[in-house]
Each structure stands twice: as structure tokens, then as C-alpha cells.
Amino acid sequence: MDILKKYFQVSVFLAFFGLLIVVKNYIGHADEEESVAIGKPNLQTPTTQTPSAAVTPVANTTAPTSTPNNSIYKDGTFTGSVEDAYYGNIQVQAVIQNGKIADVLFLQYPNDNRTSIRINSQSNQYLKEEAIAAQSANVNIISGASDSSFAFRKSMATALQRAHK
């Protein structure tokens, strides 16, 4: 009987401890959703959107074929390849003015479900801004949007290869 009592006490303790962990994780995720920081600290989240998932850049990894930062490109609009981003395809166009990347347009990106829409509406802007700042396809990978980031880099690299003099 004494062993049964001990077993019951340990079971209650473990159940309570497990519940505490679940509640802590739930509260922790709710806090993360309210205080989202996407991209680099100097980039501002558009005021028209309320982010609900954290996406932050991680350390830069080796880019697929990309053109050097000091390259001069032909002026015009150059379309990149269609790249698989797991939940859909990504394809971008690089707009080159005065030999520099002036704009990046997304021709295709995953947007057929709420999660893809939420993630890409946030990450696309930061990928675009980074490509313009870096003047290359070598941009940081966005955590939470890594598949989209890799596909962006590949498509952007192709567009820049076509724009290269």
C-alpha cells in the first residue's frame, strides 16, 4: 500500500510538472508572436501588418552562384529562374538602373495558405531590401522562411547572371 501511495504522489508531481512546462511553452510562444523582429534591427516592419510568427535572419551561408558586389549590370529588367521553395515556387525579377539593383519584384512566391502568406509577406520585403543593399543575391537566410530564402537567392542569382555585362 505504501508503494502505491508513493507511485500516486510521483504521478501527480510529474503530471503537474508537465502541465507547467506546457503552460510555460504556450506563454513563451505567445510572447514571441507579440514581439516579432524580422530581419536586421535597422529594418522596420511595415505598419500595416501585424506579424504573428517570428522570422529572423541567421548567419549568412554560401550563396549559390552570385555576382560580386562591385559588378556593373546592364540596365533593364531581368527575370530569374523558377525555384522550388517547398510550399510553392519563387521567381523574381531584378530591375537594374544605372548599373545597380534598383528593385526586386516577386513574380511567384508561396501564397496558397495562411501560413505561406504570413511568412512570405514578411520575408519577401526583407529579402528584397537585403539584395538591394548588398547589390547581389548573397542575402541572409531568414529563419522561419529558409526554404523561401534559398529559393530567392537562386532565382536572384540567375536574374543577376542575365544582367551581368
3-state helix/strand/coil string of 78-122: EECCCEECCCCEEEEEEEEECCEEEEEEEEECCCCCHHHHHHHHH
What pTM was estimated for this model as a whole?
0.59
Cα 31 to Cα 34: distance, rounded to the nearest angstrom: 5
How far CA 58 is from CA of 71, 145, 146, 149, 158, in Å, comes to: 26, 11, 9, 11, 23
* Cβ proximity of 104 and 132 under 8 Å: yes
Give the model confidence (pLDDT) of 111-141 as tens digits: 999 999 999 999 999 999 999 999 999 999 9
Task: Output the pLDDT for position 18.
Answer: 61
What domains can be seen in the chain, in order of their start residue? 56-163 (3.90.1010.20)
Give the model confidence (pLDDT) of 71-105 as tens digits: 579 999 999 999 999 999 999 999 999 999 999 99
Q: Which three cell numbers stand for residue 146?
A: 529558409
Q: Which three cell numbers stand for residue 103?
A: 528593385
Helix (H) or strand (E) holding 69: none
Closest C-alpha to 152, from 95, 89, 96? 89
